[in-house]
Amino acid sequence: MTSINNPILSVQGLTKHFPGGREGLIGKRDVVQAVDGVNFEVAAGEALGLVGESGCGKSTTGRLITRLLEPTAGTVTFEGQDISHFSNTQMRPIRTQLQMIFQDPYASLNPRHTVGTIVSTPFKINKVTPEGGVKKRVQEILEIVGLNPEHYNRYPHEFSGGQRQRIGIARALALRPKLIVADEPVSALDVSIQAQIINLMKDLQKDFGLTFVFIAHDLAVVRHFAQRVAVMYLGNIVEIADRDTLYATPKHPYTKALLSAVPEADPDAIGARERIRLTGDVPNPINPPSGCRFRTRCWKAAEICATQPPALLQIGKTQVACHFPE
């Protein structure tokens, strides 16, 4: 596995199992293997895209990184510090540097609080008094994310979906963090607004030297924002590569299938591209397939795929977990 010199974030063997239902009345409780041994690193100042179908474990991974969830196993190392099992008190100074933007701008903002209260909350929780006072700083942040500073006393219901997501971004930006985990930040927005929010985040990354873990299921959006892309399937990472390499020469059959489904604006390109239709559904994470988890839907599957889980190995510029890579 390729290593990044002094990564800002390093995830090793990250695992999260949730308790499921019971087998029978007093039987053993099922275990949902949401994330199962995930490894990746993120360099300071880069944007890593984390993509995959719904239910693959990417949002759970984001919540494990920000410690909104406790890992079952593995480590999350932020700026050289293992924060995997930090208490809330230990996490408080870390949270000034590690923030999250949530998927639904409607659900992530308290409707009873004004914009000023929402964006100033991180200052109050962390007992930080910015120069010039909290109100002045909040109004500056609102202006940075493209909102009117005079909206300080307005409530979330008075804003559109795109404006609400800008409020969420302003809240994440309040304490000038180093790393932001963006969990599907544009999937709940109109397509016309998505580009505006993506461009805003790209500008913020450049202006403030931010590092992003950008979680999405839309490969076209990820291509526009992330410098490197990690592909997840059923709790595992199956491929990691820089954007240009992954989109031009995908190595894992699952990545190839995902990319074949991305809408193409050029009619000539549509005819030239092979559309790969995967058979069957994503297996149940309570009882995932043995060996390679993708084998039940893969056209390359052989006997070794059922008995031996493929390791994430370096092939050229790509890390891929497949016995028969492209």
Q: What is the pLDDT of residues 158-180, one digit of tens each?
A: 999 899 999 999 999 999 999 99
Strands annotated E in 80-183: 81-82, 98-101, 179-183
CB-based contacts of 91-97 (< 8 A; 24+ apart in sequence): 91/67, 92/125, 92/126, 93/126, 94/67, 95/122, 95/126, 96/122, 96/126, 96/128, 96/175, 96/177, 97/175, 97/177, 97/178, 97/179
pTM of the entire predicted model: 0.90
Q: Which domains does the chain have, with CATH numbers?
A: 1-44+63-225 (3.40.50.300), 230-325 (no CATH)
Give pLDDT, residue 316.
92
Q: What is the pLDDT of residues 108-125, one digit of tens each?
A: 889 999 999 999 999 998
Q: What is the pLDDT of residues 6-50, one digit of tens each?
A: 899 999 999 999 987 666 556 677 888 899 999 999 999 999 999
Question: Buried b / exposed e across 34-72, counting CB within 10 Å, b at 16+?
Answer: bbbbbbbbbeeebbbbbbbeeebbbbbbbbbbbbebebb
Give pLDDT, residue 213.
96
